[in-house]
Amino acid sequence: MHFGDSFTMNSTASRRQMLLEKLNSHASFFEDRGRIGKLLGAPEKMVVSEFSKRSGIVSGKKISTFWGGDMHITLPEPVSTFLYRYGYFEEGLTAFFIRALKKGDTFMDVGSHYGYFSLLALEMIGPEGKVIAFEPTPRTYAVLNSNLSAFPNAKTENMAAWSEDSTLELTDLGIGWSSHNSLMVPKMVPDRAAKHAQTHSVRAVKLDDYIAENNVRPTLMKIDAESAELAILTGMTETMRNLRPIISVEVGDDSAVTVKSSEVLEFASRYGYQHLAYANGEIVRHEIQNAYDYDNIFMTPEEKVADLLDQ
């Protein structure tokens, strides 16, 4: 190893540690506070977001993420509301990506929404890396594209992923619940949102074909597709077999779910994937459960598990 290589590794590790400390600082500032404490911690943001939530008035905002990046969001959408108030979203998933992503990696964000995790990935992988973000809902895609358009190494796709190339009907819950739009029956959605749902046709692609045709070599993928995860994995078995990306999937079973989260994880196990989770600030091994509350699990090629556990 040359001195320059050692310096780069040390500086990357320092950058990773700095971001983890920033994330922890943002999270710990609010997580132990009650409603009044959170209001006092960020009074204007709490008041504005609460008014938007209660009134239903949609408004676009530009926020700063915990690492200092810019991002467009829309209130009162739930993910946007959390980002507006706290500057981060899903602490465990955020921390995992900070630990797992490296300079020059290729990150595929399937179900990108407004692109929070794509922006985080761009922060981690640098200009040498690449981000490809999929978002099928036209209105959501417009915000995503506005967030990523400034990055020459980011590509946005206004399409869904599926088991085969197809045209599918997507349930659009409107701007207020856009993070729950789904090709399946939307899960964890209140009745007031489901009552106003509309459907429209979207293009869907088989990821094995997309990856081959575009000469993509993903190192890490996030699949957050509101119950469509198994269909998406079915369309990327060659990618799992040959390219071996780490795959983050959202899990969560409720009465609307037709494919259990355990089935998704068991499918990946057949291709030599083991499962990790983020708990108490550490990446740990995960055993498949019969039923899941909302969480994220990291389906990891068995040959990459040891490196992640050592971090």
Instruction: Write the pLDDT tens digit of every residue in 37-60.
Output: 555 456 778 778 887 777 778 888
The mean pLDDT value for 243-253 works out to 95
- Whole-angstrom distance, CA of residue 239 vs CA of residue 161: 13
Contacts of 20 (CB under 8 A, 6+ apart): 95, 98, 99
Query: Does the pLDDT of residue 177 top 60, yes or no?
Result: no
Query: Does the pLDDT of residue 7 top 90, yes or no?
Result: no
The mean pLDDT value for 106-111 works out to 97
Query: Does the pLDDT of residue 254 top 80, yes or no?
Result: no
- CATH number corresponding to 90-309: 3.40.50.150
Query: Does the pLDDT of residue 235 top 90, yes or no?
Result: yes
Closest CA to 200 of 183, 188, 176, 179: 183
Average pLDDT over the chain reads: 86
∠ at Cα 177 (175, 181), nearest 5°?
95
pLDDT for position 2? 38
Query: Does the pLDDT of residue 179 top 60, yes or no?
Result: no
CA dihedral 252, 258, 264, 270 (to 10 degrees): 150
C-alpha dist (Å) from residue 301 to 41, 52, 59, 129, 225 = 42, 43, 42, 21, 21
Closest CA to 222 of 136, 87, 310, 96: 96
The mean pLDDT value for 218-234 works out to 92
Q: How confident is the model at residue 200 (pLDDT cuts 50, 70, 90)?
A: confident
Is pLDDT larger for residue 202 or for residue 20?
20
| CB 90 within 8 Å of CB 66 | no
pLDDT for position 230? 94
The mean pLDDT value for 80-104 works out to 94
Query: Does the pLDDT of residue 62 top 80, yes or no?
Result: yes
Q: Which part of the chain has CATH 3.40.50.150?
A: 90-309
